Structure 1
Amino acid sequence: MYIRRVSIIVDMKVKECLLVWLYCLYFTSAYSTISYGTTDFDECKQVNPNVCSQGCNNHDGGYSCYCQDGYDLINQTYCQAIGPDPLILLADRYLVREYDPLLIKHRTISPNLNYAVALDYDIKEMQVYWSDRNEDTIYRTNINGSGLPEVVISGYETYGMCIDWIFRNIYWADRSTKTIHVASLEDLSKRSILIPDITHTPEGLTLDPKIGYMFWSVYSGKIERAGMNGQQRLVLVDTDISSPVGLTTDLTTNLLFWVEQGSYRLNSIDYNGHGRRTILSSYSILPRPFGITVFEDYVYLTDLQRKAIIKANKFNGKHTMLVGNLNHPLGIQIYHPQKQIKGIINHCEGHNGGCSDLCVAAPKLNDNSVKYSCLCPSNSFLLQDGRTCEGSEVNPLTPPSSTVSPPEEKRTTQMRTDNINDEIV
């Protein structure tokens, strides 16, 4: 992705010195010598308050902010998404609804539901997906509210469910069997178990298909990461964490945000498990949080006890109750084109990667790592060509086997055997 850089230099020391020249000169010199041993303070290292929405370049005596493609730099520091005004999609137990924060207007997408929990959408097909806790079923319908809900997947108790809008797959966590699954949106019969052995109940699930990683929360007190092919599994958080539920990825900063019901907290960490921060911690603000999503500089949280949506600054935690008097707010998403970016290559498109069954994103470990993996159903395994599952027909678009390393053992995934502790690049 190209990065748009907007050089707007903010010289904080010079401004201060113009007001109190002698004092500021002394203070700057002393502070630089004692704290940093240099005459320049790196504003880009500030987190609370964060000086830039997305990117920051430090310069002698100041800094400049820049934004990713698809965003405009506003007031020198804030990155505003280009496109339509964002809308909120909400699973409110008995219905899936849309809320327009600017018009302060609700619209029902799908009414008369049993117990809607997890929520996501597919902007390409203009469809919204949700899980029903009481029916153990994942449904979808048109975002404009037309048509009847369609059964997508059934037989799973799902609180975490995500759409991979790039590789065109659906991921979900099953609380009853403590597993994570994937299926093709183009052919839902093609599915596989990715994570078969979660020790306790999986709750939230989120993806970053740009780099092929997924993240999930375990209610007993854990945050884990793995590639979207099920490989490179790693525990990110397992200390000082109490009943984590919803979590979300910030595609602009590579930060993971999550909420905890046991400690009434909103937290963040980077994709490698570094830089952990508590942004909010208050029973009065988050007595029973559940869902979370992020857009621009803000996180949007649902709280079951307050029956509300809370909007909070993702850097400093400043917050407001955005919507109240809801039924039972659970899953939440921001509907906007920048949440499902176009222009990213789908390496499975057109030929299914030569795979006989599932083709999914592989984790980006380095610039030379594989771009996708072939998966098989749980009762099958890959043959020597690394693309065809035992019992399945060979994909006629499969390239010569010499282009694929033959599997060393029977397994359900074509994978790269890099060290599990490799950090995301």
Structure 2
Amino acid sequence: SYICKCAPGYVKGLDGRSCNRLNRTIVPYVYYTNKYYVRAIGLDEQNQITVARGFMELSSITYDWKDQKLYIGDRQASKIYRMNLNGTQSTVIIEGNQTRFLRALTVDWIGRKLYQLFSTPEIRVSELDGRYSIILLDSRYLSQPNYLAIDPLIGYLFYSDWGQAHIGRINLDGNNFVKIIGTDTAGPLGLTIDIITQRIFWIDRRLQRLEYVDIFHSLR
């Protein structure tokens, strides 16, 4: 048997298994980028807004739900920005030549850290304002890394690498490296995590398929 519960702001549906928003006037948004701007589109597909523009070559975007902030990387301008969800109060938090190789960003909303993946190759972690950056993984483990995913509830950071094709996992402090996927894969990318089911999803661009594995790599 099981019991279904809904998050604050939602109520259980008539089927007893789904959740509906209490305030129907609040529309969830998906944020996305191309090279030059950041946009948000409502899940009802009725609203699309331009959040920020005037960039040179955006390569990454992530979101901190606790502080309601966006983090975006412009690798041509060699800068990482932090801004409000409406694009106001935009601030450069990291800049320099290293940022030209930025591929992905993700936020630890519990430990309040910003993780950055570079094609150099490196995975770094810093404070949310960019201070105290340190290297967690380098070319000893990485070849051509491309995406990051994080589960701060259990303290894991995941990445995909299509060079020496694999998906890796480390603790949030960079220790305990594990290659969770290293066979029957050719070009993993588009890594994302479902924290509720504890599954990692990715696309293999060369094998042309969508796959998943549980966080502890026991079921693929």
Please say if 1:115 is aligned against 2:53: no
Q: Which has the larger radius of gyration?
A: 1
Question: How far, CA to CA, are the matches of 1:81 and 1:232 in structure 2?
Answer: 40
Unpaired segments ≥5 residues, structure 1: 1-56, 58-63, 277-425
Match of 1:101 in 2: 43
> Contact 1:68 / 1:252 at 8 angstroms: preserved in 2?
no
Give the match for residue 252 of structure 1.
196
Q: In the alignment, does 2:29 pair up with 1:87? A: yes
Does the 8 Å CA contact 2:56/2:76 hold for their aligned counterparts? Answer: yes
Mapped to 1, the partners of 2:189 and 2:174 lie a distance apart of 21
Deviations 1:346-385 (A, max 9, x none): xxxxxxxxxxxxxxxxxxxxxxxxxxxxxxxxxxxxxxxx
Q: What does residue 94 of structure 2 align with?
A: 153
Structure 2, unpaired ranges of 5+: none
- Distance across 2 between alignment mates of 1:125 and 1:202: 28
Residue 269 of structure 1, aligned match among 210, 213, 216: 213
| TM-score w.r.t. length of structure 2 | 0.86
The alignment partner of 2:4 has SS state of strand
Offset of 1:204 from its aligned partner?
0.3
How many percent of aligned residue pairs carry the same amino acid? 27
- Give deviations 1:123-168, integer Å, cap 9, x for gaps: 3333211112323332222211224x42222323121210111111
Partner residue in 2 for 1:77: 17
Q: Counterpart of 2:173 in structure 1: which amino acid?
A: N
The residue aligned with 1:141 is: 83
CA distance in 2, matches of 1:82, 1:118: 32
Task: Give the aligned residue type for 1:114.
Answer: M
- Equivalent residues in 2 for 1:384-403, closer than 5 Å: none
Residue of structure 1 equivalent to 2:4: 66
Equivalent residues of 1:179, 1:198 under 8 A apart: no
Q: Higher helix share goes to which structure?
A: 1
Q: Secondary structure at the match of 1:216?
A: strand
Structure with greater strand share of residues: 2
The separation in 2 between residues aligned to 1:124 and 1:199, in whole angstroms, is 31
TM-score, normalised relative to structure 1? 0.46
Between stretches 249-258 and 122-131, larger displacement belongs to: 122-131
Q: Deviations over 1:90-119 (max 9, x none)?
A: 012211111012152211111121111211
TM-fit CA distance, 1:195: 1.3
**Following the alignment from structure 1 to structure 2, what is the Cα–Cα distance between the partners of residues 80 and 229?**
37
Contact 1:214-1:227 within 8 A present in 2 as well: yes
Indicate yes or no: 2:130 matched with 1:183.
no
Residue in 1 that maps onto 2:183:
239
Q: Amino acid of the residue matched to residue 208 of structure 1?
A: D
- Read off the aligned partner of 1:78 and give its amino acid letter: S
Deviation digits for residues 276-314 of structure 1, max 9, x if unmatched? Answer: 1xxxxxxxxxxxxxxxxxxxxxxxxxxxxxxxxxxxxxx
Question: Which amino acid in structure 1 is aligned with residue 107 of structure 2?
Answer: I
* Pair 90,192 (structure 1): closer, same or farther in 2 beyond 3 Å: same
Does the 8 Å CA contact 1:179/1:193 hold for their aligned counterparts? yes
Q: Give me the whole-angstrom Cα distance separating, in 1, the residues matched to 2:185 and 2:78.
A: 28
In 2, distance between residues paired with 1:82 and 1:159? 37
Equivalent of residue 207 in structure 1, options 139, 143, 150: 150
* Residue matched to 1:308: none
- Give 1:22-33 correspondences, 5 Å limit: none
RMSD after superposition: 2.1
Which protein, 1 or 2, shows the higher relative CO under an 8 Å CA cutoff with sep ≥ 6? Answer: 1
Whether the aligned pair in 2 keeps the contact of 1:242 and 1:262 (CA below 8 Å) is: yes
Structure 1 residues 231, 86: closer, same or farther in 2, change over 3 A? same
1:226-249 per-position Cα deviation (integer Å, ceiling 9, x unaligned):
110111110111112121122111
Question: Residue 135 and residue 264 in structure 1: after superposition, are their counterparts in 2 closer, same or farther (change >3 A)?
Answer: farther
